[in-house]
Amino acid sequence: MHSDASDEQLIQLHLSGDPRGMEAIYERYFDRIYRLAYSKLRSTQDAEDVTSAIFLKLCRSLDSFRGEAKFSTWIYTVANNAVMDSIRRRRPNVSLDADLRVDGGDSVPREIEDDAPGPEDHVADADFARYVYGKLDALPPGQRSVIELRYFMELSYQQIADQLGVELGTVKSRLNRAIAALRSLVSTEEEVKASAFR
């Protein structure tokens, strides 16, 4: 019904008292927000919690949306902040790299149980995707931002350039480097294996 309307038109519709605008916003942004949350939290439960919190607070947060930026970039910022808050809340006080202290004052190396799938596990698309998501942390922040804005928030190159305040060419080259870096992190063999199952 409102699928052709721009985000800003949908928001104005809601601000004028018509809730139908927000239904279209939900359909448009639910997957994007969830992907962004999952990429950073890598826990289905946590991603659902954060996504719920973002959407349930979205209507009231609209008062802070002045229309100076595009809604897509505004909601990206809102979602990013919510995810970072969630990460801060759940982060333990001790470093995961620190050794464990045992009785008697001795310390032993911490063995961290990693439930993320390893290369040998990702034989299906979902597993391979999770494996790729797991490699995002290894990217420099600038490259990661471009990945998030392009593939999770589904912004155009120009919108990404506007959001990051860089040239269009910079966005393309940064995206290219990011994908190349991910490709090198994920072994070519595994990628081929995953493609074979597709």
Interface residues with other proteins (CB under 8 A) are 14-19, 22-23, 26, 30-31, 34-35, 38-39, 44, 47-48, 51-52, 55-56, 58-60, 62, 125-126, 128-133, 147, 151-152, 157, 172, 175-176, 179-180, 182-183, 186, 191, 194-195, 198
CB of 48 to other proteins, least distance (A): 5
Q: How far apart are CA 156 and CA 79, in angstroms?
A: 18
Q: Closest distance between other proteins and the C-beta of residue 67, in Å? A: 16
Nearer to other proteins, 99 or 115 (CB): 115
Choose between 56 and 112: whose C-beta lies nearer to other proteins: 56
Using the structure block, give the residue that is written with the tokens 């990051």. Answer: 164
**What are 101's strand-pairing partners?**
107
CA angle 94, 95, 101 (to 5 degrees): 65
Task: Choose between 70 and 130: whose C-beta lies nearer to other proteins.
Answer: 130
Separation between Cα atoms, residue 175 and residue 181, nearest integer Å: 10
- Nearest CB to other proteins, comparing residues 64 and 95: 64
Specify the residue, 119 or 133, whose C-beta has the smaller distance to other proteins. 133
Are 178 and 144 contacting, i.e. CB atoms less than 8 angstroms apart? yes
Per DSSP, the three-state class of 107 is strand
- Residue 90: what residue type? R
CA distance 33 to 39: 10
β-strand partners of 100: 108
> What residues contact residue 94 under an 8 Å CB cut-off, 6+ apart?
none
To other proteins, the closest distance from the beta carbon of 185 in angstroms equals: 9
Minimal distance in Å, beta carbon 151 to other proteins? 4
Query: In angstroms, what is the minimal distance from the CB of 156 to other proteins?
Result: 10
User: Minimal distance in Å, beta carbon 90 to other proteins?
Assistant: 18
Q: Is 67 left (phi over 0), alpha (psi -120 to 50) or beta?
A: left
If the CB atoms of residues 47 and 163 are measured against other proteins, the closer one turns out to be 47
